[in-house]
Amino acid sequence: MSSAAFSSQICTLPFLPELFDHNFLKSLLPVTNDEEKFEWVNRSVDASVTGGPSDSATLEAFESLNVRSNKSLCHLDALLHDSWSEDPGLTLRIIWNLRSIRDGKGEKELFYRAFGWLYEHHPMTAISNLHMIVAPICQTSRGHLLPHGYWKDLLNILALVTCDELVDFHSRPSNFLRTYTPKNTSSLAEDEAQKDQTRRHKTEKHHRHHSRLLEKLAISKYRALYIGVARLFAVRLRKDIRALDQLRSLDPNSEREQYRAIHQTISLAGKWAPTPGGSHDRVTNISTAICQLLFSPNENAGSDAIGPLPSIAPHPIPGDASNCTIYRSYYQRWILKPLRETLACPEPLMSANRWNEIQYSRVPSLCMARNREHFVLHDPEGFHLHLAQVQSKKRKFSATSFLPHELVAEAADVQKAWDAVEEEDYPKVAAFKRSIADQQLDHNEMRWWKLLSRLGGTGSFPNTIAVYALSESTVSLPEYDKTNVNPTFPSIALSLVLAFLAKPPFDSGFITLSETPTFVRLEGIRESSCLSDLVNDVLSLKVGGTPDLQAVFLRVLLPLAKEHNVPNKDMIKRVYIFSDMQFDHAAGIFTGPWWLNTTPEADRASRWEKIYSGSIVKAFENAGYDVPEIVFWDMTG
């Protein structure tokens, strides 16, 4: 049996009759009024957010809810309440947009906070849409379908609710999400007395966890969430085990296509499913509930029950500690272990020091970024071969979990590490560090080009150009803080992205906003230049001063189009201005400190309207061009 089998954890559950009921939601959360009937509609949530007038509550919620906005944390309840009152369906998409890694903001913890609001005020809607976190509905440029989040989100949400940390964990940091407890700490004790005390504390803690769980399961709303999570895992694991059984009957060499097709149907539920005795299971006992659903020949499970069952189990449904232990051990050994081996999960191999068995093409992008240095250290030849095969396009790899500014920040960090090698006194140590830095640099470059290739394939930015509009020049990037991102990072990153995606004669460059705006072309942006060199090129540009936004259109963009005889259909249709200033400052309407700007908003808008209509619109129309749309993006938000 696994080590979890001998834990002091109390792994039993009370009788949950709704566990096997497909209509458990209606049983536990009965519909009582028209509002709840409306909520019960199981909406198909996609993360795209469109529509809404400029003064709408939904637009306010969409713009304000981000991890770098103090308003999103302090006023989240009010923002979501007003948005829901205006449009419940759109508010639901706004909440899922927070989590969506591929179509949205990718803000995991803020999504948990918003989901907590939904669970608190509209539990039927929250629980009935749980599956939309892991359902493969986000379409990639190649037609693949991927989920908004990942299976671990379900366990995190359940554990946070269990620990009373879901609704307000931003007002007080979550202990569950941020506490790491080393395994086997008792073995480090100095004497037997201390070991006994450690065991006693663990036993007491497990009793507290179990008592809290029993109290929670007596609450209908929590029980519905608990059963919903357990059923989602059980249903998916059943399908994956059936697919695994099919794989075992095939020859991966002679039946390669069929083998590959079936292999691709296996989800990542097996990877993220709760391990008995693991961090999520210790506070929820969710593994026991999943075992009940998987192994019980209940009339509602029918042929879906997995067998053969352990012959030593006294009865099919875990009802006592001994029986629970048997089924949980069976679940870990015969369900989780083979699925994780088939999925080539890197974590077990890393823990077992079997680094050379890792299949790097199967390593998720976030795991690759976090453990890249470990791969270089423990398996330099294998990791270098993987990078070489990716460069030669013999292998594919994922880069979907990273935003452009994160790659810019990492490129700067790796470059600093590479530069620091020159100060190393010992040649062999310097050579080793240089090797690590080189491979890290290569990997970051590959992710950058993969990102650009993916964006280029979407066709989402036709006829666009960037305006790099920081308030002052800087010779180096500041320290990167992911919770409070300096505007320099996204301004540089997005300017480089649009420069790469632009078409001639506007390709490979962008416009700088200053007293004398200019079009800057970056040589090698499409071929050879590494990202850190491009970042340094941008940092060397002159920006700030007294900006002249009018000149961007009349002295740079329009003359460039005329010079190359650009037809109207190929002319720039949208200008993105990436700035750390308010629009008044960037447009040159007001040049003093913002706190001295007492001019009424209507007067400021009137000044810009005169500049825009009186000069820019007239000049473009006289030249036979449509006036481009202006998108001003304040990066401080």
CATH code where residue 491 lies? 3.40.50
433 and 559, same domain (yes or no): no
* Average pLDDT of the segment spanning 20-32: 86
The answer on pLDDT for 256 being more than 90 is: no
pLDDT, mean of residues 239-258: 89
pLDDT higher than threshold 90 for residue 608: no
Mean pLDDT of the chain: 82
Range of the domain at 56: 18-179+208-272
Residues 6+ apart with CB under 8 A from 171: 73
> Quick one: pLDDT at residue 558?
95
Q: Which range has the worst mean pLDDT, 103-107, 208-212, 458-462, 500-504? A: 458-462
- Residues 445, 529 share a domain: no
One domain for residues 465 and 439: no
| Number of neighbouring beta carbons within 10 Å of residue 268 | 19
Q: What is the arithmetic mean of pLDDT over 509-526? A: 87
Residues 301-336 pLDDT 10s: 555 556 555 555 555 555 678 888 888 999 999 999
Instruction: Kindly report the number of other CB atoms within 10 A of residue 397's CB atom.
Output: 19
| 38 pLDDT more than 50 | no
Instruction: Single out the residue of 296, 285, 293, 294 nearest to residue 325, CA to CA.
Output: 285
Is the predicted pLDDT of residue 101 greater than 90, yes or no? Answer: no
- Number of domains comprising the chain: 3
Residue 142: pLDDT above 60? Answer: yes
Tens digit of each residue's pLDDT (9 = 90 or more) over 217-227: 999 999 999 99
What's the confidence (pLDDT) of residue 402? Answer: 78
- Between 218 and 348, the more confident residue is 218
Q: Are residues 502 and 371 in the same domain?
A: no
Residue 373 lies in a domain: yes
Q: Compute the distance between CA of residue 48 and CA of residue 285 in angstroms, rounded to an integer.
A: 35
Last residue of a domain, one of 407, 424, 450: 450
> What pTM, to 2 d.p., does this model score?
0.79
Q: Which residue has the tokens 């007294």?
A: 546
pLDDT at 595: 43
Summarize pLDDT for 409-423 with one digit per residue, the tens.
888 887 777 777 666
Q: Which H or E element spans position 247?
A: helix 220-248
Q: Please tell me the predicted confidence (pLDDT) of residue 312.
A: 55
Could you list the beta-strand ranges (E) of 60-116: none
Q: Check whether 52 has a pLDDT greater than 50.
A: no
pLDDT score of 428? 66
When pLDDT is cut at 50, 70 and 90, the band that residue 603 belongs to is: low
The answer to the question of residue 11 being in a domain is no
pLDDT the model gives residue 636: 78
Model confidence band, residue 182 (pLDDT cutoffs 50, 70, 90): low
Judge if 412 and 510 occupy the same domain. no
Distance, CA of 519 to chain centre: 34
Task: Give the pLDDT confidence of 375-427 residue by residue, as tens digits.
Answer: 888 888 888 888 777 766 666 666 666 788 888 988 888 777 777 766 666 67
Q: Which of 220, 239, 272 is the last residue of a domain?
A: 272
Backbone torsions φ then ψ of 139, nearest 5 degrees: -90, 130
Q: Do 487 and 443 have their domain in common? A: no
Contact 11, 285 (CB under 8 A): yes
